[in-house]
Amino acid sequence: MSYKIKLEVFEGPLDLLLYLVKKDHLNIYDIPIAKVTEQYLQYMEFMKLLDLNIAGEFLVMAATLMQIKSKMLLPPEETPQLTEEQEDPRAELVRRLLEYEKFKEIAENLRERESDQQEVFKRPKAQIDKEIPQQGEVYFEAGLFDLISAFSKALEQVPKEVFYEVIKDEFTIEEKVHQILHSLLVVPSIQLSELFTQAKNKIEIIVIFLSILELIRLKEILARQKDLFGEIEIVRNQQNILPHDRRTAA
């Protein structure tokens, strides 16, 4: 792929590990390292396929996981006293994950406080309610790895075919961006799975996915879920819609 997406906020390797642990409801204190390593490498392959900018941190973490996996396969040394080398090879990784998770929770709490504070000086809530219909439902913002997970499922459902690097330029990011935005003028939200289902082949699925990432980067759309790790739906970012566009979308 010659089209690169550079996201302003790019989730890192610890984010991916926490995502894999929580998605499969794994015990963070007893991580099945072989399974997690395999899934981690799969996500990296998808990121390479999409030509996303993979930071060196991801490669370092991949090497760390492989090293831990190798140590887990070695038989323990038979000595009367435990040494640091005989401690659980996962211990340091678990410590880092727990510490990182704690910082993420603190950061999220501060972000919510900042958001609440910004509301103090905004227009009256009654006026905003008239412009933006309130559904009364709580949504979770879908992260990068939620999107990649949905993308991987879509690829699995496509019949196997020969995948050529050089193909006819049948689909473009620019065209898909316009199509998605136009669709969101007709309907308030679109299921991401619907967009993938309508694709003709793997190439179109990849182009759709990159278009979604581009629209998120431009803050034109939001990817959200009713439940954690649930179905992803795409909606317009109300804060980035001009008044006349909002009337049209309504």
- Please write the tens of the pLDDT for every residue from 48-66: 887 776 768 888 999 999 9
Q: Are residues 58 and 142 in the same domain?
A: no
Domain end position, chosen among 96, 122, 148: 122
CA distances from 36 to 17, 39, 75, 145 (A): 8, 5, 21, 14
- What is the pLDDT of the chain when averaged over all its residues? 78
Helix (H, G, I), strand (E, B) or coil at 190: strand
For residue 74, the enclosing domain spans 1-122
The pLDDT of residue 241 is: 59
User: Mean per-residue pLDDT for 85-103?
Assistant: 87
Q: Is the model's pLDDT at 152 over the cut of 80?
A: yes
Of residues 36 and 120, which shows the higher confidence score?
Answer: 36
Q: Is the model's pLDDT at 101 over the cut of 60?
A: yes
User: Mean per-residue pLDDT for 145-170?
Assistant: 71
CA 233 to chain centre: 13
* Cβ contact 150:187 at 8 Å: no
Handedness of CA 159, 211, 223, 194 (dihedral sign): negative
Q: Are residues 110 and 154 in the same domain?
A: no
Over the stretch 191-203, which tens digit does the pLDDT of each residue have? Answer: 999 999 988 888 8
Query: Residue 195: which of 208, 214, 182, 213 has the closest Cα?
Result: 208
In a domain, 1, yes or no: yes
Partners of 193 in the beta sheet? none
Q: Is the model's pLDDT at 161 over the cut of 50?
A: yes
